[in-house]
């Protein structure tokens, strides 16, 4: 007997795209390879990761979100994924406009700020970022780079470059791949963010994501990491919003009083497996 049909949604947050599974229990028993195959851009649906919704385990939460990277392995948190999951839960009637939900990194709150058809503006609250630590990284060719390591639910290494032009010209994939697996971040590795000041409390950035093992158009936890590192380095005012422009769109981060990430979330299409 074949499997029953199972539904999914294709979504993206500023170009960071996901396969959302409204009923995570329908995929129980599938291994990492199955989810990696779904994310394959030539043989599958194609995505940077998988979002699965489950019934909550806490009475104060609307749902539980499980996140998997494109390699199929589970990760604790994804900022853009959390915004997409919140929008989907609201759209499916699983959650109110202001909600709390569970992730592998703890309980998060989200607000659907506005909605126009399949596009919404969503704000997600984060626990305060971990301590920002300055790290010197020896790289191939005898060079060194200074990075700011910070945990925003997943680990990030932020490198500040001299200008937005330097960010645009940066060899993000090759350099990101080398830093991702640097001994300083062993054994799990890290995401790598390349950023430069582009205006008052504004940054241009590109991100190499661990698990995707490639550059992605945007990264929510990366935007929070860049904001936290910039504040720690004296490059940004932590009492005001910090805008991080990535190739897929701009994300707005607040660090004062409560850490939040705000930006667009979009439902692209629905389908059946």
| Separation CA 244–CA 232 (nearest Å) | 16
Identify whether the C-beta of residue 121 lies closer than 8 Å to the C-beta of residue 114.
Answer: yes
Instruction: Spot the catalytic one: 61, 84, 219, 266.
Output: 219
Contacts of 188 by beta carbon, 8 Å cutoff, 6+ apart: 155, 210
User: How does strand 49-54 pair with strand 74-75?
Assistant: unpaired
Instruction: Spot the catalytic one: 14, 78, 84, 170.
Output: 78
219 has catalytic annotation: yes
Mark residue 234 as left, alpha or beta (left: phi above 0; alpha: psi -120 to 50; beta: remaining): left
84 has catalytic annotation: no
What sign for the dihedral angle of Cα 52, 53, 57, 62? Answer: positive
Closest CA to 132 of 203, 229, 205, 230: 229
For residue 131, the tally of other CB atoms under 10 A from its CB is 10
Q: Which residue has the tokens 């200074």?
A: 146
What is the set of active-site residues?
78, 219
């Amino acid at each position: 007997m074949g499997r029953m049909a199972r539904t999914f949604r294709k979504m993206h947050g500023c170009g960071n795209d996901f396969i959302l599974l409204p009923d995570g229990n329908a995929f129980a028993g599938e291994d990492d390879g199955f989810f990696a195959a779904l994310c394959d851009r030539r043989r599958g649906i194609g995505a940077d990761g998988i979002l699965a919704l489950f019934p909550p385990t806490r009475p104060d939460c609307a749902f539980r979100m499980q996140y998997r990277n494109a390699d199929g392995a589970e990760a604790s948190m994804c900022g853009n994924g959390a915004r997409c999951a919140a929008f989907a839960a609201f759209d499916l009637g699983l959650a109110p406009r202001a909600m709390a939900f569970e992730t592998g990194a703890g309980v998060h709150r989200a607000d659907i700020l506005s909605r126009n058809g399949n596009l919404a503006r969503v704000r997600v609250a984060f626990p305060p970022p971990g301590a920002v630590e300055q790290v010197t990284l020896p790289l191939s060719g005898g060079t060194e780079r200074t990075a700011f390591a910070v945990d925003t639910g997943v680990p990030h290494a932020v490198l500040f470059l001299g200008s937005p032009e330097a960010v645009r010209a940066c060899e993000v994939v090759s350099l990101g791949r080398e830093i991702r697996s640097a001994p300083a971040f062993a054994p799990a590795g890290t995401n790598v963010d390349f950023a430069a000041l582009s205006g008052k409390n504004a940054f241009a950035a590109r991100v190499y994501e661990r698990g995707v093992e490639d550059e992605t158009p945007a990264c929510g936890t990366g935007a929070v990491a860049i904001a936290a590192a910039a504040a720690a380095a004296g490059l940004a005012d932590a009492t005001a919003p910090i805008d991080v422009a990535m190739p897929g769109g701009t994300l707005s981060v607040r660090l004062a009083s409560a850490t939040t990430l705000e930006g667009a979330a979009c439902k692209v299409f629905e389908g059946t497996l």
